[in-house]
Amino acid sequence: MQLFLDGIFLGSIYALFAIGFTLVFGILDRLNLAHAAVFTAGALVGIEIVTLFGVPIWLLIPIILVVGAVLGILIERIAFRPLAGRHDAHFAGLISSIAFGAIILSLLQALYGADTRRFPADAFPSTRVEIFGATVSLLQVIILIISVSLMVVLTWLVAKSKLGRGMRTIAENPHAAAVLGLNVGRISSTTFALSSALGAVAGVLFTLNVNAASLGIGHAVELKALAVIVVGGMGSLPGALVGGLILGVAEVLAVNYIGSSWRDMVAFGLLFLILILRPQGLFGARKTREV
Amino acid sequence: MRRKLLSAAACGSTLLLALTACSAPAGTDSTADGSLTGTGTGAECVIDSAVPIAAAFSLTGAAAQYGEGQKNALELAVKDLNAVGGVTYELSVEDDATDPKQAIQVFDSFISSGASIIIGPTLSNTAKQTDPIAQDAGVPVLGVSNTAAGITDIGDYIFRDSLTEDAVIPQTVKAAVDKLGVKKVVVMYANDDAFTESGYQAFAAALEDQNVDVADTLTFSKSDTDFRALLNKAKQSNADAIIVSGLIDAAVPLVTQAREIGIDTPIIGGNGFNSPALITGAGEAAEGVIVGAAWNSASDNEQNVKFIEDFTAMYSSAPDQFAAQAYAGMQIIDQAVRATCSGEREDIKMGLGDITDVPTVLGSVSLNENRDVEHDALVQIVQDGEFVILN
Amino acid sequence: MFADYTSLITLIALTAILAYSFYAVLIAGQLSLAQVGLASLAAFTSALVVPAEPLFGFIPPLAIGIVFGMFVGAIAAFILGLPVIRLRGVFLAIATLAFGEMVRIFLINQSWTNGAQGLSFSKLVGPGIAWIALAVVAYWFWRLSGSRLGRAFAAIREDELAATTMGIDVPRYRMASFVIAGAVAGLYGVLLAHFSRFADPNEFSFTAAVDGLVTAVVGGVTLFVGPILGSAFLSVLPEVQRVIGIDAGWIRPTISGVLLLVVILFLPGGLSGLIPRRKSAKRLIADPSLRPTLPALPAAGSELVSLSRLGKSYGGVHAVQSVDLTVNAGEVLGLIGPNGAGKTTLVNMVTALTPPTTGTGTVLGVPLSATTKAHRLAQAGVARTFQQIKLFNRLSALENVLVGGYRITQDTLLRRLLFLPSARRSEREAVAMASAQLIRVGLADKASNAAGDLSYGDQRRLEIARALASHPSLLVLDEPAAGMNHVEAASLSELIRSLAADGIAVLVIEHNVRMMLATCDRIMVLNFGEIIAFGKPGDIARDPRVLEAYLGSSGSDEDEEAASVLASENLAQVAADRDSDQSGHHSDPAPDGETNPEENR
């Protein structure tokens, strides 16, 4: 049981990161590799705010949502929008987001130095709970709840709301969306803002959970998140959650039954297997080819 | 097609020309005219020109948090030594961006710009690529954080003041066995890092020597921060202690999470744990953690106390072992320069060969015939928010 | 004077070789991040075989390492390619990234690599060897770029489906680019390890893969010197920052990041886009004597296509039901019907882009089945155009047609590498044949324009020229006159008749009923996937069911127009026209014959 819960909690962090990742991919068909930098920025800016002003965590989350959203809009405006309509927008978007991510990280180093930082010890109550004979911390439960509810809210948003309809239209056919009078630019910005807001909050929760934030944390989770969104199905929000949880549990099982040296092999092996057996992922829809 | 080739060639050569044009002034070799030899010896040594000291550290990239402290400590050391008078040092610190390819180029430029000695680089695996270049060029190198085996075997110009894990860990394990009666342990280490892996090998050898039973060996990645799954596995072994070979980045979350999931057994770490961040970061959870180390931050050695005070005042954070070793490195170099009263490469190399019982922030330090450092290592335990000597 | 920068100079060459490894897959439109993983496999395994002394006293150890490393890289790429080659875009990138990470983790956990502690290598590579290796690699890619193989890669990059219908075996070529990239990656791995004298698996990480990709993209993939430019730019950047005295620390990566962003945003073709290029590498060769003699087409009247009860259903929807059809050499067969009648589905089955669900069929001797590959049919002599134009937009008009000639040309890469005169002759013949097709459709003066820049009507004509370049026995045209004015449509009709006169069987879908009646020998009318009428143009025009079908369609303006044509025209006259209107070859119809007055307000 403890094993299973450990896996679920580990996976919920992956899921939290991956949901923002997959949102942009599903709607705009772009892989935003600056997401890892946003994740790190959320963590480090969050630490700074708490350390300087003693803001309580419940107030920090909305602040970080805003910080993330602003970063997301900047990423969209600077690294993606100028590429719109270019035949190589796919490759170029990858590279420009890498460049933008590198700029964010080096500015973070300029602001906060390269040292590992952490939230003050009393930033979050370290309450522990016993469930089914396993020990879990309150924080882990909250992270899981946040991941699940974000997934539900976002899925609802994309499926039902006016904004969501716009997003789906763009996902189907950007040109048609423009013809229909949708403000493609604004909807793209909103999507990036949402995605990055989630990424930044994921950074805060991750840091609270492991008690360490360095410039490299986003990078370490990014690779796993890529595996998660493929396993779950590119662009699928429930897929990101389930994929994250599956990966978390698989890793914990690997540690216990295969050997910890091969843990990361399991993540990537799983990814590889899914790509070969079911390239659209567990929850992805297979796109039909048009002649 | 030919035109394409021509334009490509033109582009390429323009770039190279631009480079060499810029670098022309830097290419003058100050060691050639012998102006770095002075008069007198030891404390009375006077050298007219400043002795060029070069250092390559990882100021950006994955190892930036170690490089920054090293750079700060080195600058502090040069400032302190220049205040003594007689010999002045001109320090240039460069960034290898935690990339061996960059480090190779940095070493190249140091060598051609006439550096008398090169300090660094931060990581052992980088050193294995850069040090042979210096060796070939006849420029002495002093590693201040390289602990991997084989570094000083690269050649007779390669020295280091960083104690290898082999020198620190056996007595740490012995202390744990003697003082705490440890019989069965779980070993955890980051297997994708040269430093932590060699630490693991030292632990494994020492544990075998002491006939300690290893219940389980668990590996993680140097970029990991969530250790709960591993720790829960370790917990099942009911071992007397958990031995960890990891860097401080892993140490703080690992120690915090271990206490969080209810592991109360001692946690024993190596040099990587010897950082004030262990205490500031892990807080309560760090209590009782045992750290084998090359540098005693609590030592009442006068130099050490002053170093910690000055460093903290200047950079508003306490130095770690990497910083202390960098500072000590400069003290050793100063000793070597003054011994022959020369900043020439060959003379510094000779001077470094004769370093015996030099007082530094690390204590009394010697370099042996293998150009490796020898000084007392110690075993510390965290008590009441401070490192104290375990005895 | 370069002595101060030997390492930099060497590293520029080595990084460029890595970038070539990415370039090799990028030119075929693939994004692989496995390259550094392949390089590390090659580097570490080479440590097992590189001897300390020359083998047999004269084979230098490095040569053994290079050959072995390239072999390992190629084999590993092949094995990786088997499962992943069918993935596209980001999926391929992530799968190959996963492979790279798996290699890294595998090597870290092996004792023979010494794990994270790494392995030492002997110093065997200096600037000389690195640049010679780079020169060989660059030379290879230079010669590749003008060869048939290079054109096939470019075609796959631009449009896989269109490439398939040119007879290009896409999976095989994608695999070829993968294996080439693997060999180059292996070369890089071995050279790097023997230059830096040390390697540990962590050096070949995700970050290194991304750096390699960035180098290739910054250099640009449209010109073979791209990787060298990218490598020089990115390698020199930190050095320049050092030399001009920018403080070590965060500011340097910031500057590098900003510069990278600027290059990506403002130089779409990468740095190599800055190099002025001639508009097209090749000129038209109009001299008919240079055209080789081609094998004869099937005798007029021989049966080329025979379909029996062929059908296609998606789920429960019958797109095409039970079609019986034969097409003979030298005839023009028309396929009309309202929107959604199943016309395109039918020709997709005939060209093997869509497998039939029921019935049987044979096209040029190749049976149609679920496993029939479109490129096999194309090689048998089927060529087609598409309803939605599928040109290779970034290639010139002439290059498009050259790709079209894939089926009837021979590969020239090996001969080009050796500068054999026969390669030059083959290329001239290919250009001569392609030129003939361009002239035939009236695009001679636009040969060097990028296909994507042509007007709509010109694009339609270019697509036909490209299809003709394969010397097909059966030509399938899907709405070739869409968007053309009357004058253009008339000359197209004339062209189609002349093709049939040459002995080509033409299967044409078109909404322009007037043109169809004037062009076709026989017309088949489809509605809701079923044949509702089939016969001579005159009979079709008089058939009330046909008009009914168009009127009953909820569809588009085109359907309404077709209906009005069918209802109002003196159709017998129109149908009869097609024999009389054989005179006057309009080689260059006025492109804007019908200017919309609305636009000029």
pLDDT reading at C159 higher than 50: yes
Mean pLDDT (whole number) for C469-478: 94
What is the pLDDT at residue C73? 97
What is the pLDDT tens value at each position of chain B, 391 positions in all?
444 444 444 444 444 444 444 443 333 344 444 578 888 887 889 998 999 999 999 999 888 889 999 999 999 999 999 999 899 999 999 999 999 999 999 999 999 999 999 998 999 999 999 999 999 999 999 999 998 888 999 999 999 999 988 888 999 999 999 988 899 999 999 988 888 998 999 999 999 999 999 999 999 988 888 898 899 889 989 999 999 999 888 999 999 999 988 899 999 998 889 888 899 888 889 999 999 889 988 888 889 999 999 999 999 889 999 999 999 999 999 999 999 899 999 999 999 999 999 999 999 999 999 999 999 888 999 999 889 988 6
Give the C-alpha separation, B326 to B145, whole Å: 8
Q: Return the partners of chain A (3 or more C-beta pairs < 8 Å).
A: B, C
Per-residue pLDDT band at C573 (split at 50, 70, 90): low
Task: State the complex-level ipTM.
Answer: 0.91
**What percent of chain C has a predicted confidence (pLDDT) above 70?**
92
Judge: C265–A83 Cβ closer than 8 Å, yes or no: yes
User: If pLDDT is split at 50, 70 and 90, which confidence band does C579 have?
Assistant: very low
Residues of B in contact with A121 (CB under 8 A): 283-284
pLDDT at A106 over 80: yes
**Searching chain C, which residue's CA lies closest to the CA of residue A85?**
C268
CA pair distance B33, B347, nearest whole angstrom: 14
pLDDT confidence of residue C316: 79
- The stretch A49-56 carries a mean pLDDT of 89
8 Å CB contact of C250 and A110: yes
Contact A229/A22 with Cβ under 8 angstroms? yes
B7: which chain C residues are within 8 Å (Cβ-Cβ)? Answer: 275-276
What percent of chain A has a predicted confidence (pLDDT) above 90?
A: 28
pLDDT of residue C583: 39
Q: Where are the alpha helices (DSSP H) in B261-344?
A: 276-282, 302-315, 321-340
Q: Once rounded to an integer, what is the mean pLDDT over residues C481-495?
A: 88
DSSP H or E run through B215: strand B213-220
Query: What value does the mean pLDDT of chain B take?
Result: 88
B20 vs C2, C108, C201: nearest CB: C2
| Nearest Cβ partner for B108 among C4, C243, C281 | C4
> What single-letter DSSP state applies at residue B317?
S
Sheet of C303-314, strands arranged across: C317-328, C303-314, C358-363, C366-367
Among C residues 532-551, those touching chain B with beta carbons less than 8 Å apart: none
Per residue in C3-33, pLDDT tens?
778 899 999 999 999 999 999 999 998 999 9
Looking at A132-136, B219-223, B235-239, C565-569, which range is the least confident one?
A: C565-569
pLDDT in tens, C333-392: 999 988 888 899 999 999 999 999 999 999 999 999 888 899 999 999 999 999 989 999
Query: Which pLDDT value is given to residue A68?
Result: 96
Q: Decide if B98 contacts B61 (C-beta within 8 A).
A: yes
Chosen from B228, B235, B279, B317 to mutate, greatest number of chain A CBs within 10 A: B228
pLDDT, position C562: 78
Confidence of residue C277 (pLDDT cuts 50, 70, 90): low
Residue A287 confidence (pLDDT) above 70: no
Q: What's the pLDDT band for C300 if we cut at 50, 70, 90?
A: confident
Question: Is the CB of residue C422 less than 8 Å away from at least one CB of chain B?
Answer: no
DSSP for residue C325: E
Rounded distance between C-alpha atoms, residue A14 and residue A243, angstroms: 9
Partner C contacted by A78 (CB < 8 A)? yes
- Residue A285 has a pLDDT of 65
The residue with greater pLDDT, C242 or B77, is: B77
Q: A230 vs C91: CB contact, 8 Å cut-off?
A: yes
The C-alpha atoms of residue B308 and residue B319 are separated, in whole angstroms, by: 6
CB atoms A116 and B252 under 8 Å: yes
DSSP summary character for residue C57: T
> Which A residues in the span 37-96 are in contact with B, Cβ-Cβ below 8 Å?
none
User: What integer pLDDT is reported at residue C574 of this predicted model?
Assistant: 54
Provide the pLDDT for residue B2.
45
**A contact residues 100-139, partner B, Cβ 8 Å cutoff:** 106, 109, 113-116, 118, 121, 126, 128, 135, 137
Chain C nearest C-alpha distance from B314 (Å): 18
| Minimum Cα–Cα distance from A248: chain B residue | B229
Q: Is A220 touching B (CB cutoff 8 A)?
A: yes
Query: Taking the CA of residue C148 as centre, how many other CA atoms within 13 Å lie in the half-sphere pointing to its CB?
Result: 22
pTM comes to 0.90
Does residue C485 carry a pLDDT above 90? no
Question: For the CA atoms of B350, B351, B357, B360, what is the dihedral angle to 10 degrees?
Answer: -140
Which residue would you say has higher pLDDT here, C248 or A81? Answer: A81
Contact yes or no for B218/B230 (Cβ under 8 A): yes
Mean pLDDT of A53-70: 90
The confidence score (pLDDT) of residue B217 equals 93
Supply the mean pLDDT for chain C: 87
Q: Which domains does chain B have, with CATH numbers?
A: 2-163+298-374 (3.40.50.2300), 165-293 (3.40.50.2300)
pLDDT greater than 80 at residue C566 = no
Cβ-defined contact of C248 to B94 (cutoff 8 Å): yes
Q: Subunits with at least 3 CB pairs below 8 A relative to chain B?
A: A, C
**Is the pLDDT higher at C249 or at C101?**
C101
